[in-house]
Amino acid sequence: MPLINPPLTKEDFINSRWQDVINSSERKECSAYNKVFWNKAQEAKEAGNVREQSVFEILAFVTGAAIIKPESTEEFFANVFQNLTDEHLNFLTEIAPEISYPELQARIADILWIKKRNYQMAQLAVTAYLQSATELEDPEKWSWCFERIERALRLARKINYQAEVVVAHIEAVLNRYNGEDPLWLSVKLMELLQEYKLGNPTKYAALAEKAATLAESCNDWRRARNYWEIKAKWHRFEKDEDSERTAQMRAAETYVKEAEDSLKGTDPSYLRALNFMEKAFEAFMNVRGNNQETIAAKEKADEVRKLLSQYQEQSLNELVPISHETDISVQVNIARSHVKGKEFDNALFYLAFLGTPHKVSHLRQEVLKIAVENPLSHLFPSAMINQMGKVVARQSKSVLSNNPDEVEAAILFEMYKNGVHYQVFHAQAYIEPARYQINLEHSVQEKDLFAIVSNNPFVPSGREHQFAKGLYAGLTGDFITSTHTLIPQIENSVRYLLRKHGALPSKIDLDKGIEDERDLNTTLFPLNYPQINSIFDKDTLFDLQGLLIERSGSNLRNRMAHGLINDSEFHSPIMSYLWWVTLRLCCLPILQQQQQVKESTNPWVKFDGIFKDDPLFDDFVEEMAANRRELDAEVAAYEASLEENQSA
C-alpha cells in the first residue's frame, strides 16, 4: 500500500462514505466487507481519487486476513500485518474510536494492540468483540460468534480487563440455549470455561448431560461424546469421582453407537466402524479409578474386543489397489475420487487406507532379480550422496558375495534404497492428489484433527495436541512443521507401545544414576526389542525403518535431528509420505492381538500387514469391498474411454 502525502486523516475516512459498505453487507463480518472495500478502492482509482483509494485499500487489507485466533501467536499476526506502516497505524488509531460497527472496530483495535501494544485499543477490542459476537450469534453458524467471544476472553485475561464481563456474556449465552442449540456453540463455550476453571460445575454438569442426551436422540454421537466428556470434567472439578466415571462410560459408549451407524446407510464402512470400535476400547480402558472402581469399564472393553474380532476380515476387501506405473494419471484420478464428496472425517480415513506400505517380500525379489539379470550392477560398491556431495551411505559388499552375512547386508541396503522410490511414487500418485482434493472441499482447522487422535492407541494421553498440530500442518502443506512435530511423537509412541508390551525402552547408567530413553535407532529393531514384532507387521516395520533411520533409506529421523534437511527438501514427496504414514498409524488399529487374520485372497490386496492380529480388523472389510468394486468400475470405465479415444 503506497503512502500518500499529506498522510490520511479522520476527515478522509469520514468523507469516503465507508459506512455504505457495512450497510450493504447482509452479514456483519470482516470477510464479507473485504471484497467490497477492494471494489471501492478500484472505483476510486479509476475516478482519480487517490486519498479515497488509499482509505479503502487500508480497510480492505485489515479485513482480508482471518480473525486473530488464539491458536495462532500474536507474533504470527504481527507478520500478517507487517505491511502496515507507522503512518497507516496512526491513521487507524485516529479512526478506531469513530467506528460504530463493532466487527470492524474490534478488528482494527486488535491490530493496534498487536502492532503498537496500545492498551486502550486492547480494551476497546474486548468490548467490540463481545458486541460483534452478539450481532453474529447464530446457532447454525456458531463459529463466528464463538471465535469473537474466545478472542475477547483471552485478550481480557491477558490485559487484566473485564474478564468477568466476558464470562458473564458466556454464561448468558449458555443459559439462553439451555443445552438445546443444534450444533457446537454450547460445547465450545463450556470447554472455554473449563480451560480457565470458571463457571459452576454442578450447574453446567447438569446442562451438559441434558445436551448430551438430546444429541444422542438424533444420533449425533460426536457432539454427544463431547458433552459427556465435558460433564466428566465438571464432575472432576467438584471431585465427584463416581459421577465422573459414569460420564466417561457414556462418552465411550458413543463410539460403539457411532461404529454401529457406520455400517448403515448408503455408504457403510467397516473401515470407519473399525476405527470407532478401537477408540471405544481405548476409552473404556482409560476410565479413571482403581481396579475395583473400573470393573464395569473393563467388562465393556472386553465386549468391544469381542465385537472387533467380528469385523476384521470384512475390512480387508476395502483396501485400495495400488499400481506402480510410470503414467500416474489413472492413480491420480483414483486417489481424488476416493475422497471426493465425503465428509471430512471420512475423507481423511479413506486417505489413510489408500494403499499399504510396499511389501518386504517384493522388495527382496526385486533386488535378487536384478542381481541375477544384471550381475555387473553388484560388482562395484554402492553409495548414496547428499545435496552437498557427501557420501551418507555406502554398501561395499555384493549381493553375489559368498559370505551369507555380507549378502544379507547388501540385499537390505538395496531394499531400503529401492523402498524410497515406492514411497515417493505413493506420495505423488496417491497421497498428494487426495490431500489436494480434501483441502479443495473442506476448510480444515487444527481442532478438526482431535477426533482422530483422541482415545487413540497410538497416541499417548497428553500428546493429542502435538499429533493434531502435526497432522493439521501436513494436511495443509506445511511439511516443515509436520515433520518436526511428528517424528519425535512417533519415536515416543513406539516407546509407549513397547512399554505396553512389557519392554523397557530405556537404558540405566548405574554409575551416574541416570535413565536415558532409547531412540528409534534402537527401538525399531527386533534384535533389541523383539516385542516390536507384536506391534507392527513386517512390511510396516521395514517401511518405518527405511523412512526414519536407515542410511540407505530416507533416514528422516536422524537427518532432521542433526539439521541436515534444507528448506527445499521439506517440500519433497517423502515428507508427504511421512505425514501419511503417521495418519495411517493413527487411523489403523496397530496393536496385534491374539486372533490371527488370514491373508486376503484378493490379488489386489495381499496383506500380511498392520492389521494382522488386531481385534479391530474384522470391521475394516465390508465397506472397502463395496468401495473397491466402485473403484474397479471407475478404472474400467477410465481405461475404456482411453481405448475409445485411441481408436478414434
262-311 per-position pLDDT tens digit: 888 777 887 788 888 888 998 999 999 998 899 999 999 999 888 877 77
67 pLDDT band (50/70/90 cuts)?
Answer: low
Q: What is the pLDDT of residue 528?
A: 93
Residue 23 has pLDDT above 50, yes or no: yes
Nearest to 272 by CA among 263, 282, 283, 285: 263
| 163-172, 307-316, 350-359: range with lowest mean pLDDT | 307-316
Residue 39 has pLDDT above 50, yes or no: yes
Q: What is the pLDDT of residue 243?
A: 97
Map out the domains of the chain as residue ranges: 1-136, 329-505+516-599
71 pLDDT band (50/70/90 cuts)?
Answer: low
First to last CA, the chain: 55
CB atoms within 10 A of CB 402: 7
CA distance 516 to 496: 14
Contacts of 163 (CB under 8 A, 6+ apart): 153, 156, 157
Residue 46 has pLDDT above 60, yes or no: yes
One-letter amino acid of 165? V
The residues facing 384 across adjacent strands are 393
CA distances for 559 relative to 547, 550, 553, 555, angstroms = 11, 10, 11, 6
Q: What is the pLDDT of residues 578-587, one digit of tens each?
A: 999 999 999 8
Instruction: Bin 322: left if φ > 0, else alpha if -120 < ψ < 50, else beta.
Output: beta
* R_g (Cα) of the chain, nearest Å: 29
CA distances for 471 relative to 482, 484, 595, angstroms = 6, 11, 31
The residue with greater pLDDT, 591 or 573, is 573
| 20-24, 358-362, 515-519, 592-596: range with lowest mean pLDDT | 592-596
Residue 626 has pLDDT above 50, yes or no: no
Residue 123 has pLDDT above 70, yes or no: yes
One-letter amino acid of 84? L
Q: What is the pLDDT of residue 351?
A: 93
b/e per residue 418-449 (b: at least 16 CB within 10 A)? bbbebbbbbbbbbbbbbbebbeeebebebebb
The helix (run of H) or strand (run of E) holding residue 93 is helix 86-95
The residues facing 508 across adjacent strands are 515
CA distance 439 to 441: 5
Task: Report the chain's mean pLDDT, rounded to a whole number.
Answer: 83
Q: What is the pLDDT of residue 169?
A: 98
CB atoms within 10 A of CB 218: 10
Please tell me which of 348-352, 464-468, 566-570 the model is most confident about, judged by mean pLDDT.
464-468
CA distance 443 to 531: 41
Q: What is the pLDDT of residue 38?
A: 93
The residues facing 382 across adjacent strands are 395
Q: What is the pLDDT of residue 70?
A: 61
The helix (run of H) or strand (run of E) holding residue 112 is helix 102-116
Residue 317 has pLDDT above 80, yes or no: no
401 pLDDT band (50/70/90 cuts)?
Answer: low
Q: What is the pLDDT of residue 73?
A: 64
Average pLDDT over residues 629-636: 46
Average pLDDT over residues 469-493: 95
31 pLDDT band (50/70/90 cuts)?
Answer: confident
Give ∠ CA 255-258-262 in degrees, rounded to 5: 135
Q: What is the pLDDT of residue 321?
A: 52
pLDDT > 70 in the chain, percent: 81
pLDDT > 90 in the chain, percent: 57
Residue 59 has pLDDT above 70, yes or no: yes
Q: What is the pLDDT of residue 621?
A: 37
CA distance 389 to 209: 63
Q: What is the pLDDT of residue 433?
A: 93
Tell me which long-range contacts 368-376 makes (C-beta under 8 A, separation of at least 24). Answer: 368/399, 368/411, 370/414, 371/399, 371/400, 375/400
Q: What is the pLDDT of residue 646?
A: 44
Cell readout for 174 is 449458555
Contacts of 442 (CB under 8 A, 6+ apart): 344, 347
460 pLDDT band (50/70/90 cuts)?
Answer: very high
Average pLDDT over residues 35-54: 93
CA distances for 489 relative to 27, 83, 503, 582, angstroms = 42, 37, 18, 9
- Residue 585 CB-half CA count within 13 A: 26
Residue 517 has pLDDT above 50, yes or no: yes
> What is the three-state SS of 419-432?
HHHHHHHHHHHHHH
CA distance 265 to 485: 37
Cell readout for 438 is 480434501
One-letter amino acid of 483? T
CA distance 121 to 96: 8
Q: What is the pLDDT of residue 612?
A: 38
Q: What is the pLDDT of residue 603?
A: 30
Residue 258 has pLDDT above 90, yes or no: yes
pTM over the 0.85 mark = no
Q: Where are the beta strands (DSSP E) in 320-430?
A: 382-385, 391-395
Nearest to 435 by CA among 573, 637, 586: 573
Q: What is the pLDDT of residues 213-239, one digit of tens each?
A: 999 999 999 999 999 999 999 999 999
Strand, coil or helix: 319: coil
Residue 631 has pLDDT above 50, yes or no: no
Instruction: Bin 555: left if φ > 0, else alpha if -120 < ψ < 50, else beta.
Output: left
Q: What is the pLDDT of residues 417-453, one digit of tens each?
A: 999 999 999 999 999 999 999 988 887 888 889 989 9
| 252-266, 325-339, 394-408, 564-578: range with lowest mean pLDDT | 394-408
Instruction: Bin 197: left if φ > 0, else alpha if -120 < ψ < 50, else beta.
Output: left
Q: What is the pLDDT of residue 634?
A: 47
69, 147 in Cβ contact below 8 A?
yes
Residue 50 has pLDDT above 80, yes or no: yes
Average pLDDT over residues 501-513: 82
Q: What is the pLDDT of residue 617?
A: 36
Q: What is the pLDDT of residue 356?
A: 84
CA distances for 480 relative to 149, 422, 489, angstroms = 32, 22, 15
CA distance 243 to 253: 15
The residue with greater pLDDT, 275 or 164, is 164
| 382-391, 568-577, 589-598, 626-635: range with lowest mean pLDDT | 589-598
Residue 644 has pLDDT above 60, yes or no: no
